[in-house]
Amino acid sequence: MAVEMFKNKEFSSAYEKYMLPVANEVITLILSYIEKKTKPKPYEMAVDIGCGTGRYTLPLAPHFHKVLGVDISQSQIDEARRSSSFENVTYQVSPAENLPLEDASVDLVTVGLAVHWFDLDRFMLEVVRVLKPKGCLAVHAFYPVFRVEYKGYSEALTGIMKEMMDTISKYSDKSDAFLLSQYKDIFNAVPLEDKKWVTDIPVVFERSVKELIGFIQSIYMYQDFLTKDQDGATRFLKYMEQRFHDVLGEETDSATMKVQVKHYCVLACKS
């Protein structure tokens, strides 16, 4: 089962180091939404479910008295605790469908790049249970198609990125359909009447070749590839490194590329 890979210590370390940076555009969207829907900040409680290594948990800290990150993976929680720098942020191992929270106790529930792993019906019941009246839900992810720009090499570099994603996508599971639909089915599954679906949020990151290769290693599909064919997966990464070198030549180690990716977000408010 793909979610079991997130419990692997080495994978958690790669995920923390190389997964795409936080999309500040998404954080701004979420905070703007809750400001329109509920009482003025600072808010009391936020919970980030499927928090992983805490990348999207920490940006909530300045806006809430308490922030809790929960995940089923102890290794991901361990990584999150090592990188935490806020006294009001805590982490706990917990499934998304059975949260260690009281009824009507949370101002904001967030889920980043994880809700597609959950039992949606049970999770949505938990969301409704723990949210306060006027409490908000925000679930978000990114579309797994990338454009890479650098000098006159953009088309070739984008092609390399597509080749990498196409190769590891052979090891995808049903969760990929949720990502490719920009969470349309997730939006439909939210049982709250007051909801909105925001798609095609443009985000640009700067990445080196090393970081792009590392990003591939931080994706569960590559980890499945590695588990099933270690030699093949290792050769694949070396081959992709050579592909970048063939295009960039002496600039391979120094090039800082702009990577464009679309994010999307489902937002809802409990009446």
Q: DSSP letters along 179-218, please?
A: HHTTTHHHHHH---SEEEEEEEEEEEEEE-HHHHHHHHHT
- 91 alpha-carbon distance from chain centroid: 17
pTM over 0.75: yes
Per-residue model confidence (pLDDT) at position 5 = 64
Number of domain units in the chain: 1
Q: Give the pLDDT score at 162.
A: 97
C-alpha angle with apex 192: 27 to 199, nearest 5 degrees?
Answer: 40
CA distance 126 to 192: 12
Tokens 């908000």 -> residue = 136
**Nearest by Cα to 116 from 195, 215, 183:** 183
Amino acid at 39: K
Using 50 as the pLDDT threshold, list the residues of the chain that sit under it.
1
∠ Cα 123 129 135 (to 5°): 100
pLDDT number for residue 12: 85
* Residue 40 dihedral angles phi and psi, to the nearest 5°: -60, 150
| CATH number of the domain that residue 42 is part of | 3.40.50.150
Q: How many secondary structure helices (H) and strands (E) does the chain include? A: 10, 8
Two tokens, residue 146 = 């990338």
The H-or-E segment that residue 91 falls in is strand 89-93
Name 151's Cβ contacts closer than 8 Å, sequence gap at least 6: none
* Range(s) of the domain holding residue 165: 2-269
Q: How far apart are CA 159 and CA 10, in angstroms?
A: 29
- Distances in Å between the Cα of 23 and the Cα atoms of 132, 206, 260 are 26, 12, 11
Instruction: At 122, list the tokens.
Output: 């049970």
Burial class of residue 170, CB neighbours in 10 A (0-12, 13-18, 19+): exposed
